[in-house]
Amino acid sequence: MGLFNRLDQTVIETSVRGTELLEAPLLNKGTAFTAQERSTLRLDGLLPCRVETMQDQLDRAKITYNKQTTDLRRHVYLRSLQDNNETLFYAFLQQHLTSVLPIIYTPTVGKACQLFSEIYRKPRGLFISHDLIDSIDQMLANVPQDIKVIVVTDGERILGLGDLGIGGIGISIGKLSLYTAIGGIDPYTTLPVTLDAGTNNQELLDDPNYLGHRYNRLDEERYYQMTDAFIAAVKRRWPKVLLQFEDFAITHASPLLARYQDQLCCFNDDIQGTASVTLGTILAAAQRANVPFKDMRVTIVGAGSAGSGIAETIIQAKVAQGATEANARAQIFMVDRLGLVLDNQPDLYPFQQALAHPVSITKTWGTTGERADLLQVVEHAKPHAIVGVCGQPGIFTEAVMKQMAKNHSQPIIMPLSNPTARAEAIPEDVLNWTEGKALVATGSPFNPVKIGETEHVIAQCNNTYIFPGIGLGVLAAKASRISENMLQAAALELSQISNGDFSPGDSLLPPLEDLAVVSHKIAVAVAKQAIADGYSKLESSDAAIEQAIEAIYWRPKYQKTLAS
């Protein structure tokens, strides 16, 4: 039976008693245990005499939360609440989602990852290293749950902060928290994992408190020995699991996805999730700006795995709307730290080569120098949208923004890098430089900006709009794979949700407090596409899909606890 057995949606039974029960976060109700439960589960005397409701506990938790003096302290408090009482933690997240989202996830989670070894309190998730690859089956057996969703990272490229070693598991924990709080995924079926491949961060190697392996990152042979062993063990124990790759460096992100995407149901959120939410936002912005998406030109600043994933997703969407692939590719302009990506560059990865423009384009433009810089690209290509995923603050300069506004009446400006300090531009600057013309979306949260009489609400184009719904749809449909069509369906659904009635200054995306509703609609769209693609045997009717979603949907409510 394991830790507990659900008799139905309101009753569970468990064999654990006393302090052991109070230390089990998925079973602990703290002061909400009833008098009868306290007697039968040997809790008498271990709790204060007052029996509280969940709302009583939430009110006390809010008071304590408000007393924390920094965002990092608020993050640590929420993590301690999660480690003590998981149900209450998720109820708190849902009740205060808009205000706590930046605390439990980006941007504060970046600081928490940097200080992971310092703020570490209780174990959560699995830490797998090369020297233990022969024991991975036993490690997975140490996790008794029926795992349905895994988020795995190797910590090499955390947000825009770089190599944080095992501290990257904070991202996995944060993502899974949102799978549950927004997507309704049962937390008992989720598992955060970090692959401890070492670190090249000298500060961590020199830090006496660092909890990971103190050696430089593994060479390629040993690295893939470890990932192969991990994937093989996961397939043996949980062959139908949904596995999300998170924050892997450019050298491994695309190769890992290509290596394993046909072996189990997996996706890379930085490549595919970011691409999907960006596409959804651009589709919404195109309608606002009255620009046919098929004809849109887009500049992407940052030619790594995330930027290239966005480009390929936009190209696929354009082709689906009737464009030829050649024309769609010609409308995408990738810019790296040296300028426009050209096909004569010797150091391009294959996925970058497919997006490179011929070197002759700069001669056609009459630009000086072999590589056109960002301003020259904007002057000559006249993109309708500019997307930043390079983590270089300030690269969207005043000159670039003014040129965008000169080219188009409503330029689409998307500085998406996280955390906030890594954003390519600040929305207030962008709107001032464009005289309020720009349609702006960012990766991190920003306050509204008032230009003249119009208040501009800044959309947060964050994967949070996408991955919880993808997870819910995949699990409800019992999909065996995640197809590009399913990701496109998620983006299209997001754009349709976003484009109801709107006024000048309105956000390009739905408000954060509607994320659960958005995720539900995306889950339906993803499930339908999984069925159409042949990756699910679920009946395709709306009623069958809704029933499948409701059957697995988890809500943070206390259940009556019985002794087994």
The 10s digit of each residue's pLDDT in 73-86 is: 999 999 999 999 99
Q: Domain 53-263, CATH 3.40.50.10380 — does that match?
A: yes
Q: Known binder of ligand: residue 418?
A: yes
Element of type H or E holding 449: strand 449-451
Q: What is the DSSP string of 60-106?
A: HHHHHHHH--SHHHHHHHHHHHHHH-HHHHHHHHHHTHHHHHHHHST
246 annotated ligand binder: yes
Decide if 416 contacts 443 (C-beta within 8 A): yes
pLDDT for residue 113 is more than 90: yes
Same fold, 53-263 and 273-464: yes
Domain ranges of the chain: 53-263, 273-464
Band of the pLDDT at 526, cuts 50, 70, 90?
very high
Q: What is the pLDDT of residue 1?
A: 40
- Is residue 526 a contact partner of residue 515, using CB atoms and an 8 Å limit? no
Q: What percent of the chain has pLDDT over 90?
A: 90
**How much of the chain exceeds pLDDT 70, in percent?**
99
Please report the pLDDT score of residue 501 as a whole number.
74
pLDDT at residue 186 tops 80: yes
Q: Length of the chain in residues, anyone? A: 564
The per-residue pLDDT for 493 is: 97
- Catalytic member of 29, 90, 148, 175: 175
What is the pLDDT, as a whole number, of residue 159? 84
Instruction: Give the pLDDT mean for 467-494.
Output: 97
**Known active-site residue 105:** yes
| Mean predicted lDDT score pLDDT of the chain | 95
Q: Is 270 annotated as a binding residue?
A: yes
Alpha-carbon gap, residue 266 to 142, rounded angstroms: 22
DSSP state letters, 376-422: HHHHHH--SEEEE-S--TT-S-HHHHHHHHHH-SS-EEEE--SSGGG
- Predicted confidence at residue 2, as pLDDT, reads 60
Looking at residue 3, what is its pLDDT? 73
What the block records as the tokens of 478 is 């019992």
Does 555 appear as a known binding residue?
no
From the candidates 65, 105, 465, 558, which is the catalytic residue? 105
Q: Which two tokens stand for residue 474?
A: 């995949």
- Look at residue 400 and tell me whether its pLDDT is greater than 50: yes
- The whole-number average pLDDT for the span 311-339 is 96
Architecture field, domain 273-464: 3-Layer(aba) Sandwich (3.40)
Confidence (pLDDT) at 4: 73
Q: 450-453: long-range contacts at Cβ-Cβ below 8 A with a sequence spacing of 24 or more?
A: none
Helix axes 71-84, 97-104, angle to 10 degrees: 100
Q: What is the pLDDT of residues 463-476, one digit of tens each?
A: 999 999 999 999 99
Return the amino acid letter for 557: K
